[in-house]
Amino acid sequence: MSIRNVGIVYRKELREALRDRRTVIASVVVPLLLFPLLSVGFGAVITSIIGKTKEESPKIMILGGEDSPGVIASLKATPKIEIVTAAANWKDLVINKDVPAVIEIPPGFDKAVADQKELDVTIYNYSGDLKSEIAAGKVDKTLKSYRDDVVKNRLQARNLPESVLKPFEVKQQNIAPPEKSGGALFFGGFIAYIVVFLCFNGGMHPAIDLTAGEKERGTMETILSSPVSRAHLVVGKFLLVLTTALATAALSVISMGISFAIANSLHSAPVQAGGDGMSMHIGVGAALSVFIMAIPLAVLFSSVLLTIASFAKSYKEAQSYIMPMMFLVIIPAIAAMLPGVDLTPKLALVPILNVSLLCKELVIGTYHWNFIAIIFTSTCAYAAFALFLAVKMFQRESVLFRS
Amino acid sequence: MIEARGLSKRFRDKKRGEIRAVDNVSFYAKPGQIYGLLGANGAGKTTTLRMLATILEPTDGTAVVYGHDVVEQPEKVRASVGFLSTATALYPRLTSQELVEYFGRLNGLDEPTLKKRVDYIFDRLDMNEFRDRRCDKLSTGMKQKTSIARTLVHDPPVMIFDEPTLGLDIMTARSIITFIRECRDRGKTVIFSTHVMSEVEKLCDVIGIIQSGKLLAEGSLAQLREQCGEQDLEEIFVKLVAPLYSTTEAL
Q: Give the closest-approach CA distance of B159 to chain A in angstroms.
A: 12
Query: d(Cα B218, Cα B251) in Å, to the nearest integer?
Result: 25
- pLDDT mean over A290-296: 85
Domains of chain B by residue range: 2-88+158-250
Q: Give the closest-approach CA distance of A24 to chain B in angstroms.
A: 14
Q: What is the pLDDT of residues A74-114, one digit of tens each?
A: 888 888 888 888 888 999 999 998 899 999 999 988 888 88
Domains recognised in chain A with CATH numbers: 3-42+178-400 (no CATH), 55-158 (3.40.1710.10)
- pLDDT mean over B79-100: 92
Binary contact (A219, B53; C-beta < 8 A): no
Kindly report the average pLDDT of chain B as a whole number.
90
Binary contact (A16, B94; C-beta < 8 A): yes
Query: d(Cα B149, Cα B94) in Å, to the nearest integer?
Result: 14
Query: Which residue of A5, A16, A219 is in closest CB contact with B106?
Result: A5
Query: d(Cα A83, Cα A102) in Å, to the nearest integer?
Result: 10
In chain B, the residue whose alpha carbon lies closest to the alpha carbon of A6 is B106
User: Given a cut of 80, is residue A328 above it in pLDDT?
Assistant: yes
Dihedral-angle region of residue B67 (phi above 0 means left; psi in -120 to 50 means alpha; beta otherwise): left
Inter-CA distances, B115 with B94, B105, B119, B151, Å: 17, 10, 6, 16
Binary contact (A218, B81; C-beta < 8 A): no
CB B162 within 8 A of CB B82: no
Q: Which of residues 99-158 of B touch A (CB under 8 A)?
A: 102-103, 105-108, 134, 150
pTM comes to 0.80
Query: d(Cα B228, Cα B236) in Å, to the nearest integer?
Result: 6
Q: Give the closest-approach CA distance of A322 to chain B in angstroms.
A: 24
In chain B, the residue whose alpha carbon lies closest to the alpha carbon of A224 is B55
Q: What is the pLDDT of residues B101-142, one digit of tens each?
A: 999 999 999 999 999 999 999 998 889 999 999 999 999 889
User: Given a cut of 80, is residue A274 above it in pLDDT?
Assistant: no
- pLDDT mean over A178-195: 73
Query: d(Cα A175, Cα A173) in Å, to the nearest integer?
Result: 6
Smallest CA-to-CA distance from B157 within B100, B99, B78 is with B78
**Long-range contact set of residues A108-116: C-beta below 8 Å, sequence gap at least 24:** A108/A67, A108/A68, A109/A64, A109/A65, A109/A67, A109/A68, A109/A71, A110/A67, A110/A68, A110/A69, A110/A70, A110/A71, A111/A67, A111/A68, A113/A70, A113/A71, A113/A150, A116/A154
Chains A and B: how many Cβ contacts under 8 Å? 61
Smallest CA-to-CA distance from A140 within A124, A155, A151 is with A124
Smallest CA-to-CA distance from B193 within B158, B222, B220, B166 is with B166
Q: What is the pLDDT of residues A5-32, one digit of tens each?
A: 999 999 999 999 999 988 888 888 888 8
Smallest CA-to-CA distance from A6 within B113, B106, B109 is with B106
H helix intervals, A21-129 = 21-24, 30-35, 43-55, 69-76, 90-95, 109-114
Categorize the per-residue pLDDT at A341 as very low, low, confident or very high, splitting at 50, 70 and 90.
Answer: confident
Amino acid at A222: T
What is the Cα B228 distance to its own chain's centre? 26
Interface test mutation site (partner B, options A6, A16, A210, A225, max chain B beta carbons within 10 A): A225
Question: Got the DSSP string for B100-129?
Answer: HHHHHHHTT--HHHHHHHHHHHHHHTT-GG
| B158-162/B81-85 β-pairing | parallel
Categorize the per-residue pLDDT at A244 as very low, low, confident or very high, splitting at 50, 70 and 90.
Answer: very high
Q: What is the pLDDT of residues B147-192, one digit of tens each?
A: 989 998 999 999 999 988 887 788 878 888 888 999 999 999 999 9
CB A73 within 8 A of CB A110: no
Return the pLDDT at A129: 87
- pLDDT mean over A349-354: 89
B126 CB-contact burial (10 Å; exposed 0-12 / middle 13-18 / buried 19+): exposed
CB A322 within 8 A of CB A208: yes
**Cβ of residue A225 closer than 8 Å to a chain B Cβ:** yes
**Cβ of residue A20 closer than 8 Å to a chain B Cβ:** yes
**Percent of chain A whose predicted confidence (pLDDT) is above 90:** 28
Question: Got the DSSP string for A118-160?
Answer: ----EEEE-TT-HHHHHHHHHHHHHHHHHHHHHHHHHHHHTT-
**Cβ of residue A8 closer than 8 Å to a chain B Cβ:** yes
Return the pLDDT at A181: 61
Interface test mutation site (partner B, options A222, A240, A395, max chain B beta carbons within 10 A): A222
Amino acid at B209: I
**Percent of chain A whose predicted confidence (pLDDT) is above 70:** 93
**Cβ of residue A218 closer than 8 Å to a chain B Cβ:** yes
Return the pLDDT at A124: 93
| Residue numbers in A near B134 (CB within 8 A) | 19
Q: What is the pLDDT of residues B190-233, one digit of tens each?
A: 999 988 888 888 899 999 999 989 999 999 999 999 888 888 88
Query: Regarding the domain delimited by B2-88+158-250, which CATH topology (the fold level of the hierarchy) does it fall under?
Result: Rossmann fold (3.40.50)
Give, in degrees to the nearest 5, the angle at Cα B205 between B200 and B209.
Answer: 55
Query: Which residue of A15, A221, A226 is in closest CB contact with B106?
Result: A226
**Cβ of residue B19 closer than 8 Å to a chain A Cβ:** no
Categorize the per-residue pLDDT at A1 as very low, low, confident or very high, splitting at 50, 70 and 90.
Answer: low
CB A339 within 8 A of CB A189: no
| A101-104/A59-63 β-pairing | parallel
Inter-CA distances, B19 with A159, B13, B37, B205, B210, Å: 105, 7, 20, 31, 16
Binary contact (B89, A219; C-beta < 8 A): yes
